[in-house]
Structure 1
């Protein structure tokens, strides 16, 4: 009987200690969750970049493409509400708001109602925000993150809304939409009044104590084949330096704009060089992600351009060259191909599979909220 009582007593003590430990562990876990750093989001758009364009980096580059570093890969369907074949405006609006809309719409629904964007929502949560583009900063892809207009060509109104949006760091072209405007407004003055460091000459070192605006060309920057240099990679690094100096979480969208333009022009060399430049920038971003594990990188495209395929190469006599391939264009317009989605970092597993482009917004928000 004494042994039975002893066993019962030990069992009670064991259970009590176990319960206390579980309670303590729960408290520790709750503390860990509370102390977790908010998730940085880097979203890269290779405008016009389908699977064949990505493939070109493996056949025409001198090094192993940075695309190969991704293990979480999916596909997205790009159609808009009005057209099976979308444009960059509707595509970017789906990314930024989680809702599909009509072709040419910027930040508005199919009923032209303004939709809150991920950039605006994260800014309200205390995030820093950034936009980088090779085109005018008022062009469709970057505009969809801060503007709300019925048509993508409303550049002057989009520029005005950019000033009001107070994006912390932006770099691209588009000077002409900020000065010498039809409405007579001088938006350079407006940016300075909003405490921006404004540089219209070069990608200078950011001022960590102010917002930073780089408007470097009248319209878009030159293509890679016209001597652009490493602007995309350098601007991305400058953005990271700025955000890190302020020690706050950030959202940044980076657009490799001219992959699309190479497709429209049926210019294989331009397309290849733009893909390689985009891939080089991905390398810079991946280096940042590796050093800062509280970061999620997603790389995708708004649509494919050119109906591109990579096939046999032939010499002047029509004989196949066994160790070479060449780019073929089926069209000079966008296509309705599914486009790739690459993800790296916390929450990357959410981006595997096949889904609508609008789902990317929801997956990003899920990753942020689960962190």
Structure 2
């Protein structure tokens, strides 16, 4: 009995020691729009709905709890700006706020705090890097639509004259960082940033500060892209750039377009974005396991679309149907818009493996001169075929998943509010003073 007690005490002591260890690095993943139905759908999507083939995903492996997402006001349903501001700064604000409180006063983020303490910092996103979520970690703006104001702060905000606020910037947004003479992007290159505009040339980035912008605004959807794992490629690049330094690093990684597909009630698009996000999270998971000194946390800013698995009273969800769609709904819509019925049917076979029924084709033909009506007809047909339910084309207030691994990950067990996640991460960063 004494031996058992001694062993138990030793195990508790080892656990306490691990829990007290501070991470050297922090990687914070935000799946924009990624409510719990998305992580659940991804599990069954990976298994083609075959129960015998269901295996845990990276979300399942790292899952520890959940978080509420409501903004400062009484609407309950947040937008990405208010939620990202809460996650970045630990303060609730109004929908549309970028790094400012309810009174429009500036708030510093955990990224700014990390830089103040001498850490390297990174922003990786599939949207334009001055979009709501990454912007809230970098800038102050009264409205999320002030894209030029936000972009300029990537260059002008410096805690020290010779140090950029963000050492690694990877994502979209070329139009906001123009490279012509006197353009913002050119000014950043002249100041010292290495730059590439090609995902195929990520290896050309060899030092910090580094910036890669790969689209005019957001990156092409994963389902439509030649680089469907573009987020994981960017994360790998950022880790490579940070790894050569003795400094700790903080990196924000946003899977932005999960949300965009959700707004469009586009389940095939959403699952490909989830796959890219999962692969990027696995890159960080492997890095953390290899080094043992990195905290990885994932959550979402909110859920989008009121996604459900099972619809129209049917006890079923069919991921096989989802996998038979090989393009986003905007791509399919554009391809068949204004086409005669016979030609439209042939075009659809390039993007969808299942055969449309005569009533489905007739429905599409009846609206194929109306861009919006055609889009939603496609969405409803694919959703009905796969038994996918949607309640809205906007956001919803469902709690979002929280997962973590590495030193201090036990802090994220259980239910939290989004500002509590921020406070925990900021406290961990500040503890390295």
Say whether the 8 Å CA contact 1:346–1:367 is kept in structure 2.
Answer: no
Tell me the residue number matched to 2:284.
285
| Corresponding residue of 2:198 | 201
Partner of 2:224: 226
Deviation at 1:130, TM superposition (A): 0.3
User: Does structure 1 residue 162 correspond to structure 2 residue 154?
Assistant: yes
The equivalent of 1:43 in structure 2 is 28
Question: What are the equivalent positions in structure 2 for 1:68-83 lying under 5 Å apart?
Answer: 68-70=60-62, 73-82=64-73, 83=75
Change (3 A) 1:300 1:258: same
Residues 136-166 of structure 1: CA deviation (Å, up to 9, x unaligned): 1110011011100100010111110011232
**Partner deviation per Cα, 1:100-150 (whole Å, 9 max, x = no partner):** 100000000110000111111110111000001111111001101110010
**Contact (CA 8 Å) 1:342, 1:351: kept in 2 or not?**
yes
> Given the two structures, how large is their TM-score scaled by the length of structure 1?
0.83
**Pair 1:354 & 2:415 matched:** yes
**1:325 Cα deviation (Å)?**
6.3
Match of 2:37 among 27, 41, 52: 52
Higher strand share: 1
Larger radius of gyration: 1
Q: Is the 8 A contact 2:168 2:208 kept in 1?
A: no
Query: In the alignment, does 2:334 pair up with 1:337?
Result: no
CA distance in 2 between partners of 1:114 and 1:53 (Å): 33
Corresponding residue SS for 2:203? coil
Flag the 1:266–1:159 CA change in 2: closer, same or farther, 3 A. same
Match of 1:187 in 2: 184
Looking at structure 1, the residues matched to 387 and 35 of structure 2 have their Cα atoms a distance apart, in angstroms, of 16
Structure 1: runs of 5+ lacking an equivalent: 1-31, 318-323
Per-residue deviation at 1:198? 1.5
**Could you list the per-position Cα deviations for residues 304-340 of structure 1 after superposition, in whole angstroms to 9, with x for gaps in the alignment?**
00101112248989xxxxxx96421111110000111
- Aligned counterparts of 1:180 and 1:206: Cα–Cα separation in 2: 18
Q: Is 1:217 aligned to 2:215, yes or no? A: yes
- Most deviating of 355-364 and 299-308: 355-364
Q: Which residue of 1 aligns with 2:379?
A: none
Q: Which has the higher helix share?
A: 2
Q: Conserved in 1, the CA contact under 8 Å of 2:87 and 2:422? A: yes
Residue 240 (str. 1) matches residue 232 (str. 2): no
Would the aligned equivalents of 1:208 and 1:245 in 2 still touch at CA under 8 Å? Answer: no
CA deviations over 1:169-194 (Å, ceiling 9, x no partner): 0111111112289xx95112220232
Distance change in 2, residues 1:38/1:279 (3 Å): closer
Distance 2:105 2:193 in 1: 30
How many residues were matched structurally? 329
Paired with 2:248 and 2:153, the residues of 1 have a C-alpha distance of 23
Range with greater deviation from structure 2 (172-181 or 245-254)? 172-181
Are 1:138 and 2:130 an aligned pair? Answer: yes
The answer to whether the 8 Å contact 1:50/1:340 transfers is yes
Residue by residue, what CA displacement relative to the aligned partner does 1:221-264 show, whole Å, maximum 9, x if unpaired?
10012124221001000000000012211000111111111111
| Residue of structure 2 in register with 1:22 after alignment | none
- 1:258-285 per-residue CA deviation (whole Å, 9 max, x = no partner) reads 1111111011111111112211111111
Match of 2:107 among 89, 108, 115: 115
Q: How much does 1:68 deviate?
A: 2.4
Q: Report if the CA contact (8 A) 1:206-1:242 is conserved.
A: no
RMSD of the alignment, in Å?
2.4
Equivalent in the alignment of 2:9: none
The structure-2 alpha-carbon separation of the partners of 1:55 and 1:194, relative to structure 1 and needing over 3 Å to count, comes to same
Asked if the contact 2:22/2:407 (under 8 Å) is kept, the reply is: no
Q: Structure 2 length normalisation: TM-score?
A: 0.72
Asked if structure 2 preserves the Cα contact closer than 8 Å seen for 1:206 and 1:238, the reply is no
Would the aligned equivalents of 2:195 and 2:205 in 1 still touch at CA under 8 Å?
no
